[in-house]
Structure formats: C-alpha cells, structure tokens
Amino acid sequence: MDLFEKVLQAFAAGDAMGMPTEFMTRKHIKSFLNEGEDFIDPSKSFLHKNLFRFQITDDTEQVLYLIRRYCKDGKITVENTYETLDDWVTESDAVQKGYIGPNSLKALRSLKDGMSVNESGKNGTTCGAAMRVLAPSLCVRKKDEKSLAEGIIRCSIPTHNTNLALEGAMGLGFAYHYLACGCSLEQVMEKTLSGCRIGEDNSEYKVVGAGTYERIKLIEKYIPSFKTDDELSDFLYKVVGTGLGTNEVVPCAIGVFLYCGKDVFRAIKISSRLGGDTDTIGAISGALCCLYAKTHNIPQEYIDKISSLNNIDFKEYAHMIAEVFI
C-alpha cells in the first residue's frame, strides 16, 4: 500500500510543480527561474494566475476521481468513466479554473448533447487519456493483461478514441502496470512498446501523426548520450516535442523517466522546466520514476503542503488500489 501512496504523491507533485510553467517556452522559463526555487508562484503563469502554489490540476483530480469510482464499482466501464468525468467537471469547477483539456471539454459536451460514446472521442488526439491512465492501470488485477487493455480502452474512448491517443495511453498504461508489478526495466520497456501497438490497433478513428512507438524507440537510442539535464531537455523540447499531443507528452515523459531512473524529484524538476505541457509531463515522469524506485525523494514538507491545500488523503486512495491490485 505504501508504494501506491508514494506514486500518487509523486504524480500530484509533478502536476503541481509543472502547473505554473505550463505552455511557456523553455527560453521564457529560463529567463525568470531561480534555480533554487522548486514550486514557483503561479502569479508568473500564463494560464494559471488564479491558482495557488502547490495546487494540483485536472491531471491529478481526474486520476483520483476515477480511482475512487473504479474501486467502488469493482469494474471499469465506458459508462462509469464518462459519468465520473462529468461529475468531476461540475464539482471541480474545471472550466472556470481553466484547466480542462480542449478535446475532453468538447467530447463531454457532445456526450451531454446526446452523441454516442463511440463517436465522442473521434477528434481526441491530445493527452487527456494518457493523463488519467494511471487510474485504470492500477485498478485491475496484477498482470491480467486482457483486463488491463480493456480498462485502458474504456477509460480513454469517451474523450480520446483515435490511434494517436490510444497508442500513447496504452503504452504508458502498460509501463505503469508492469513497473508496479516489479518487472525489470527491460521487461517494462518491452511491454510499453507492445502496449503502443495494442492501443493503435484498437482505436476507432485513425488520424495522421507521428507514432508514440517510434518516438520511444528514438529516445531509447539517444538517452545514453546525454551528459547534462539541458542536453536531455533540448532534445525533448526541440526533437520529440512537449506540446499537448499524446504522441509528444508520453514519449517525452518516458524520456525523462529513462534519464532520471529512480530520482523522482529530479524528474519532476526537469519536467517543470521543459516548456510545453509541463504539468502532465511532470506528473507522468514522477509516477514512472516512483514506481521504478518503489519510493520517492520529494521533500515531505512539499507533500504535506500539496495534501493540505488540495485536501487529499493519499493513504485513502492507496488503500483502495491495494484492495484491487492483487
């Protein structure tokens, strides 16, 4: 249970640290960032001046909402995913806070207007499905790959039912799951790439775009050559991309994970300074590193502030997961 508590903390910390710099350029972040500053004041943010230091966003909120629902119901369905996301939009005031993704917002509104759930995600190529895939990845039995794949698909398709979104979400979901199972890094990367293929094959709508699978293979090739954080960051920002697309966010976060290994705090700090979709990349890379390390090195004072400000009992959610992930 302690591992699940730690991974949720790492995910939330990556989200909160990356929130103020979301969609800034690397150059702009470097122009004002104090190297000794970890969680910067959102007053400097382009998008989130209305939020508070240490505040989480849609990334963590959706994951926690879905974990609670999936564990309560004992199953993952398209229906309970949509209903939970709809509840989250209303209860979190996500639209007014300005942190619901464009594809998710459009899809959820279409569903409310009566569109079929098989159609609602037809334009979803951004990272909403990958952002919340930690929930289905940990809310199934260990190494039950059929249930894992089905759960990820059902969690994704209400808002993101394209090849680009499902390829990345499935690959990432497999990475989370098999890291949590204690598999070796080599086994995890094999499963990640296998998951990418499964996701791409099971999508309803096909969209032209670069593949997550191919970008992960490219990253694996170049990671050993990077000697500094800046070398890694420049490669991810300029070559892989750090924008909203699943085929950028997922490979980028996996690149940070492969570079940082078990150093969770380093991973979320690098992610928060990358530029682009910094909160999602930070959340994902932090969770991956934490699952690999089986713990995290984020200062406890930061975890306490995140927990208190956002009113999160991480132990409660960890207990829910532990009842299912057996």
Q: How far apart are CA 231 and CA 186, in angstroms?
A: 24
> Cα–Cα distance between 213 and 73 in angstroms, integer?
33
Report the alpha-carbon distance of residue 165 to residue 147 in Å, rounded.
Answer: 19
Average pLDDT over residues 149-154: 98
Per-chain mean pLDDT for the chain: 95
Please report how the helices 2-18 and 314-324 are oriented relative to each other, as an axis angle in degrees rounded to 10: 130
Cα 6 vs. chain centroid, distance in angstroms? 15
**Is the predicted pLDDT of residue 2 greater than 80, yes or no?**
yes
Give the pTM. Answer: 0.97
**What phi and psi values does residue 237 have, to the nearest 5 degrees?**
-70, -45
Q: Whole-angstrom Cα distance, residue 194 to residue 188?
A: 10
CA distances from 127 to 11, 133, 156, 187, 282 (A): 15, 10, 10, 25, 13
Q: Which of 95-99, 112-116, 169-173 has the highest mean pLDDT?
A: 169-173
Work out the average pLDDT over 167-186: 98
Task: Name 186's Cβ contacts closer than 8 Å, sequence gap at least 6.
Answer: none
Kindly tell me if the per-residue pLDDT of 1 is higher than 70. no
* 113 C-beta neighbours (distance < 10 Å), count: 8
Q: Tell the residue number behind the tokens 């530029």, with chain if given.
A: 275
Q: Is 31 exposed, middle or buried (0-12, 13-18, 19+ CB in 10 A)?
A: exposed
Tokens 């690397």 belong to which residue?
26
- 214-242 average pLDDT score: 97
Class of domain 2-324: mainly alpha
pLDDT value at position 94?
83
Q: How far apart are CA 158 and CA 69, in angstroms?
A: 16
126 three-class SS: strand
- Cα 4 → chain centroid: 15
How is the chain split into domains, by residue range? Answer: 2-324
Q: What is the structure's pLDDT at 95?
A: 82
Task: State mean pLDDT over 34-49.
Answer: 86
**CA distance to 91, 148, 156, 160, 200, per residue, from 136 (Å):** 21, 7, 10, 15, 18
SS3 content of the chain, % helix, strand, coil (to 5): 65, 0, 30
Q: What is the pLDDT of residues 266-281, one digit of tens each?
A: 999 999 999 999 999 9
- Asked whether the beta carbons of 278 and 272 are under 8 A apart, the reply is yes
Judge contact between 266 and 286, C-beta under 8 A. no
Could you give the CA distance from residue 224 to residue 126 in angstroms, rounded to a whole number? 29
Cα 261 to chain centroid, rounded: 17
